[in-house]
């Protein structure tokens, strides 16, 4: 009983720390994600013989970060221009919204327009988009701190193994710790890399379709599809609804709305249920119920960031829990089928 009480106190303390220190921890976590992605690009570049043999490691790191920074700057510029274009047409969108309400009123013989007229009158489309632009600007401002974190992580990468080795007097303990870190690194890297592939595919196909349909700010909605695809289960649903409902406001007709909703739904379903499982395989080993619960819990703790990172964080937790006798049961419950990998002690052949 005392052990359970201590565990509950410990969990509560960790959650409180995560919430209180989230302004520091969230940029650090994004820095780790950027480090994973940058290291992937670095590994690709180092497959070029001349770069691997003749170019210093620090210069390769600088080039990778410059490439990532320029790429994200271009993306942010395109998003800003898309939002500016939406702001210019805010009066047209408001008029079309009122038109849609009148159509619904005439079709279903309900006084829908009157019921929400006060909402429509006070609805400030420009203010909504302006707030969104401010939020994006704040996120881009935090990006500088994220880049700094990633740079320092890169600088510590070469000395990390030596530091960890000095923490242990027992060589076997060191080997086990490095094995756990290696497994966490592999699982996290694979998830981020493969999920990024799938998200880019979703955003690219969505952009082409929305462009063909003539939807305003197609790049902005495609970027939302890309970003929301990192949120398990509900992310793809939200990514489908946003541009579909916007088409109602833009065109003032139900035809484009139904087409966009149907086609984007099919795209999300095909990618999420056919392509993504083949890429991911069984590497995540998470129960679907645990995936949803993790989404809710981390969403409460870190908001949208927690929702985006809920799956990799939970995967890391399963890996760590599975390597210790006292928490092995928790890892079994979190896993998809109860089968978890062990990192064994070379002498006793038992989990740590």
Residue 141 and residue 116 share a domain: yes
Residue 263 and residue 250 share a domain: yes
What lies within 8 Å, CB to CB, of 152 at 6+ separation is: 31
Residue 144 and residue 3 share a domain: yes
Mean pLDDT for 257-279 is 87
Beta bridge partners of 311: none
Task: Please tell me the predicted confidence (pLDDT) of residue 212.
Answer: 93
Task: Please tell me the predicted confidence (pLDDT) of residue 330.
Answer: 81
pLDDT digits (tens, 9 = 90+) for 131-180: 555 555 555 556 777 777 887 877 777 677 677 777 777 778 778 777 88
Residue ending a domain, among 117, 136, 167, is 167
User: How far, in Å, CA of 228 to CA of 21, rounded?
Assistant: 24
Residue 283 and residue 191 share a domain: yes
Residue 181 and residue 129 share a domain: no
Task: Please tell me the predicted confidence (pLDDT) of residue 129.
Answer: 55
Lowest model confidence (mean pLDDT) among 98-102, 118-122, 205-209: 118-122
Per the prediction, the chain carries an average pLDDT of 77
Residue ending a domain, among 167, 199, 214, is 167
What lies within 8 Å, CB to CB, of 311 at 6+ separation is: 191, 232, 284, 286, 291, 294, 295
- Is the pLDDT confidence value at 206 over 90? yes
Residue 8 and residue 134 share a domain: yes
**In which domain, by residue range, is 39 found?**
1-167
Residue 145 and residue 18 share a domain: yes
Residue 267 and residue 190 share a domain: yes
Task: Please tell me the predicted confidence (pLDDT) of residue 286.
Answer: 79
Task: Please tell me the predicted confidence (pLDDT) of residue 205.
Answer: 94
Confidence of residue 283 (pLDDT cuts 50, 70, 90): low
Structure tokens at 67: 């490439």
Confidence of residue 201 (pLDDT cuts 50, 70, 90): very high
- Is the pLDDT confidence value at 125 over 60? no
> Per the structure, how many domains does the chain have?
2
Mean pLDDT for 284-296 is 82
Confidence of residue 350 (pLDDT cuts 50, 70, 90): very low
Residue 34 and residue 152 share a domain: yes
Q: Are 76 and 136 in contact (CB under 8 A)?
A: yes
User: How far, in Å, CA of 232 to CA of 325, rounded?
Assistant: 30
- Is the pLDDT confidence value at 346 over 80? no
Residue 203 and residue 115 share a domain: no
Residue ending a domain, among 151, 167, 183, is 167
Residue 295 and residue 352 share a domain: yes
User: How far, in Å, CA of 239 to CA of 165, rounded?
Assistant: 45
Residue 187 and residue 115 share a domain: no
Task: Please tell me the predicted confidence (pLDDT) of residue 204.
Answer: 94
Mean pLDDT for 301-325 is 83
């Amino acid at each position: 009983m005392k052990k359970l009480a201590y565990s509950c106190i410990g969990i509560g303390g960790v959650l409180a720390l995560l919430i209180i220190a989230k302004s520091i921890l969230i940029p650090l976590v994004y820095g780790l994600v950027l480090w994973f992605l940058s290291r992937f690009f670095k590994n690709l570049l180092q497959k070029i013989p001349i770069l691997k043999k003749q170019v210093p490691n620090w210069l390769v790191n600088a080039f990778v970060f410059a490439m990532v920074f320029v790429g994200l700057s271009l993306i942010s510029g395109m998003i800003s221009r898309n939002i500016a274009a939406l702001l210019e047409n805010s009066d047209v969108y408001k008029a079309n919204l009122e038109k849609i309400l009148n159509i619904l009123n005439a079709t279903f013989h309900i006084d829908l327009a009157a019921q929400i007229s006060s909402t429509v009158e006070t609805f400030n489309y420009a203010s909504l988009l302006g707030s969104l632009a401010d939020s994006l600007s704040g996120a881009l401002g935090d990006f500088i701190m994220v880049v700094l974190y990633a740079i320092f992580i890169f600088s510590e990468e070469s000395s990390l193994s030596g530091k960890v080795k000095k923490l242990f007097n027992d060589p076997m303990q060191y080997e086990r710790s490095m094995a756990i870190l290696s497994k966490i690194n592999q699982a996290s890297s694979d998830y981020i890399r493969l999920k990024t592939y799938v998200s880019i595919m979703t955003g690219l196909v969505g952009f082409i379709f929305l462009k063909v349909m003539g939807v305003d700010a197609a790049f902005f909605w495609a970027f939302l599809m890309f970003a929301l695809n990192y949120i398990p289960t509900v992310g793809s649903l939200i990514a489908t609804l946003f541009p579909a409902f916007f088409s109602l406001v833009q065109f003032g007709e139900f035809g484009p709305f139904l087409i966009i909703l149907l086609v984007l739904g099919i795209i999300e379903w095909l990618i999420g249920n056919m392509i993504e499982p083949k890429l991911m395989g069984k590497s995540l080993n998470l129960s679907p119920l645990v995936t949803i619960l993790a989404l809710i819990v981390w969403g409460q703790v870190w908001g949208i960031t927690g929702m985006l990172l809920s799956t990799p964080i939970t995967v890391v937790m399963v890996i760590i829990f599975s390597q210790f006798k006292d928490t092995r049961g928790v890892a079994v419950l979190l896993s998809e089928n109860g089968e978890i990998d062990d990192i064994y002690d070379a002498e006793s052949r038992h989990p740590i």
